[in-house]
Amino acid sequence: MDAKGALATAFEVTELTFEPSEVEPGLLAMSMNTEDALQEYLRLFVKIPFIGRIGPLASTLDFVADAAPGVKEILAIGKLAWEVKEQHYDLIVVDAEASGHVVSQIGAPKVIADLVQVGVVKDQTQWMLDILEDPRRTGVAVVTTLEEMPVTESIELLERLTNETGTYPAAVIANRVLAEVFDEAEGEVAVLVPQVIDVLADAVGSGARAVVDAAMIVESRREVGDAHLARLDGAIGELDLSGGTRGRAAVELPILTVPEMFSRAHGRRVVSLVADVLEQSLVEAGPET
């Protein structure tokens, strides 16, 4: 569902299409779009063959979608649920929409099911709900940065996911986390350095001032980030993640961290580094994660 093409850039491949293509051995990627999803739905369920673009029917879909909420969203989420149902892949990872849209996408089958109580449409949405509301098969990883607005939006998203969709959060990933510049002993010395910076600069060179300033700025940013991380952790601890459905007991939601890479580069190397960090975070979080 990545409309910006970031996934193709990350794997250093040409533009992705609706048809899955292999970007690594055993790893396939695709780009979701509503028109192709509708075409596939009509071919699979309505048994209508299509050649080329569907044109006028797509315009009709736009008209219907404006009147009936959830129509476009259910085509996207339905495609993903279908792949899970048919067991075409071992694992499906979705780069979903931003927090302002993802709830409406995940909640689309529930919206349609509430509008249509009987018939084929009800049956079609029920098997989607069975997949989306089963925490053994579906989970949402909420990614945030340790800043005020992203953390606030992430907390709201976690609440809405459980309360409005029945789909459960599986983890929170804090991205671009700054590591400690100084340990405890070094920190006690570091706070004194600005007071003697002139002496230090005379001793080791004028560049010392820039190094110290940079280190103190990074440390200040890290402290602010730590405060937001503590706020996020506290809010998660107060959330009821059982959702009141399927008798699910409350669980501890892990927070996984990805450090700031300090790199402008994109591509397979960065993907590999992030994957290694996440793997280590999962190991540290424990076997139940």
Lowest mean pLDDT among 19-33, 189-203, 213-227, 235-249: 235-249
Q: What distance in Å separates the CA atoms of residue 260 and residue 175, rounded to the nearest whole number?
A: 7
pLDDT the model gives residue 38: 73
The domains of the chain are located at 32-132, 140-289
Q: Considering Cα of 121, then 124, then 129, then 132, what sign does the dihedral take?
A: negative
What confidence tier does 48 reach under pLDDT thresholds 50, 70, 90? low
Would you place residue 51 in the very low, low, confident or very high pLDDT band (cuts 50, 70, 90)? very low
> What's the Cα-to-Cα distance from 102 to each of 73, 158, 203, rounded to whole Å?
9, 11, 56
The confidence band for 247, taking pLDDT boundaries of 50, 70 and 90, is very low
Tens of pLDDT along 127-136?
A: 899 999 998 8
Cα separation of 63 and 50, whole Å?
21
Residue 166 has pLDDT above 80, yes or no: yes
Torsion of CA 42, 46, 49, 51, to 10 degrees: -20
- CA 70 from centre of chain: 21
- Residue 195 is classified by DSSP as G
Question: Does position 111 have pLDDT exceeding 70, yes or no?
Answer: yes
Nearest by Cα to 239 from 182, 189, 168: 168
3-state secondary structure of 209: helix
Which of residues 242 and 187 earns the better pLDDT score? Answer: 187
Query: What's the confidence (pLDDT) of residue 65?
Result: 46
Question: Strand 27-29 and strand 21-24: pairing?
Answer: antiparallel
State mean pLDDT over 10-23. Answer: 89
pLDDT digits (tens, 9 = 90+) for 188-231: 777 777 777 777 777 888 787 787 788 888 888 999 999 999 99
Lowest mean pLDDT among 34-43, 91-100, 263-272: 34-43
What value does the CA radius of gyration of the chain take, rounded to a whole number of Å?
A: 24
